[in-house]
């Protein structure tokens, strides 16, 4: 009941604050959409951060290793099935073990895992070792929307899915998407307020939650980090291309989990400064990026 009341109140807040949010997003509606899922897609979204490039490379390396192992095991099974079946091998072998083979199938997998770990662990650590930041953003997950704070710039807002409380696409949803500069197939991806960051700047992202566990994820950035109530998790990204990137809460958080998307707009420094001013922030603080947001 408490969560339903909160969701109802946030829906009303969205209706009231939508015109203000739209005004602050003006000038950022003609950006190319880069990070977006596609129907029947099987490939990764385009990588636009250092971490995402590393993740894609690691995936390609693992695919090669897994393919070789799968072909090797399949070949062994085929050889055993053909060469050692009862018709081709009338007299069964009577040996009980083979020390050389047993040592090999113990040592070789260990070496393979060491090779994989030597590449995967640095990629994992890189996600959590935040370099000197140009900008700090705190994201707080709620059922079922996101709250954002820019502590250095003095900006905070909440982001709600466009077309909220609509079960199906209709003319009202189409009009709302068009008003904010989004296509029809971006419904359930786009929000009324976007996280706006400057291109080629290190963004420190601090994530928490106000009720249950959520997860902030942007596939094109290679960012996926849990938001846990009472805890402040931290990661970073540096987007290389100006454009719009979509993400989603990626931790099951209740019945409307599927309706709390994330929109990030990567812009030029000039556009970012203009957005900060339009949002009532202080441009003079842009770039300091060292404030640690409060956990609560």
Sequence spans of domains, the chain: 2-47+132-285, 50-128
Q: Of the ranges 162-166, 203-207, 257-261, which one carries the lowest mean pLDDT score?
A: 162-166
pLDDT > 90: percent of the chain? 72
C-alpha dihedral, 20 to 22 to 28 to 29, nearest 10°:
-170
Is the per-residue pLDDT at 234 higher than 60? yes
Distance between CA 19 and CA 182 in Å, rounded?
A: 16
The full 3-state SS of 120-137, as one line of letters, equals: HHHHHHHHHCCCCCCEEE
Q: Are 194 and 25 in contact (CB under 8 A)?
A: yes
Distance between CA 214 and CA 225 in Å, rounded?
A: 9
pLDDT single digits (tens) 1-23: 454 445 454 445 444 554 555 55
pLDDT single digits (tens) 186-195: 999 999 999 9
CATH code of 50-128, in short, is 1.10.287.90
Distance between CA 50 and CA 221 in Å, rounded?
A: 8
CATH fold of the domain at 2-47+132-285: Immunoglobulin-like (2.60.40)
Q: Residue 260, exposed/middle/buried by CB under 10 A (0-12, 13-18, 19+)?
A: buried
Distance between CA 221 and CA 87 in Å, rounded?
A: 57
């Amino acid at each position: 009941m408490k969560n339903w009341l909160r969701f109802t109140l946030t829906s009303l807040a969205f209706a009231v604050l939508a015109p203000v949010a739209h005004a602050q997003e003006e000038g950022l509606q003609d950006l190319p959409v880069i990070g977006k899922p596609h129907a029947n897609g099987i490939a990764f979204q385009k990588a636009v951060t250092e971490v995402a490039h590393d993740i894609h490379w690691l995936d390609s390396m693992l695919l090669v290793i897994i393919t070789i192992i799968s072909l090797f095991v399949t070949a062994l099974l085929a050889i055993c099935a053909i060469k050692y079946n009862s018709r081709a091998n009338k007299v069964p072998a009577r040996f009980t073990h083979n020390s050389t083979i047993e040592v090999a199938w113990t040592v070789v997998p260990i070496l393979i895992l060491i090779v994989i770990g030597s590449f995967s662990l640095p990629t994992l650590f890189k996600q959590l070792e935040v370099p000197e930041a140009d900008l700090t953003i705190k994201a707080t997950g709620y059922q079922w929307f996101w709250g954002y704070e820019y502590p250095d710039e003095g900006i905070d807002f909440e982001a709600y899915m466009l077309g909220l409380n609509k079960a199906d696409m209709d003319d009202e949803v189409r009009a709302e998407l068009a008003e904010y500069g989004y296509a029809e197939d971006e419904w359930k991806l786009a929000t009324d307020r976007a996280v706006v960051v400057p291109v080629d700047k290190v963004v420190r992202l601090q994530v928490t939650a106000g009720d249950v566990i959520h997860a902030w994820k942007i596939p094109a950035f290679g960012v996926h980090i849990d938001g846990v109530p009472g805890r402040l998790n931290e990661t970073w990204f540096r987007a290389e291309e100006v454009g719009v990137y979509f993400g989603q809460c990626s931790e099951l958080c209740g019945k409307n989990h599927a309706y709390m998307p994330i929109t990030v707009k990567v812009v030029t420094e000039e556009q970012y400064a203009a957005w900060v001013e339009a949002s009532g922030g202080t441009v003079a603080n842009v770039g300091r990026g060292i404030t640690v947001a409060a956990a609560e």
